[in-house]
Amino acid sequence: MAENKIWYGHPTVEALDWMNPNTLAESLHIRVTEIGPDYIKGTMPVDGRTKQPFGLLHGGASVALAETLGSIASWLCVNPELFIGVGIEINANHIKAVTGGIVTGVCKPIHVKGMNHIWEIKIYNENEELTCISRFTCSIVSKSKMQGIK
Catalytic machinery residues:
67
Report CA 125 to chain centroid distance, whole Å: 16
What does the alpha-carbon distance between residue 130 and residue 66 come to, in Å, rounded to a whole number? 13
- Compute CA distances 142 → 26, 82, 115, whole Å: 25, 6, 10
Residues 6+ apart with CB under 8 A from 51: 57, 58, 61, 99
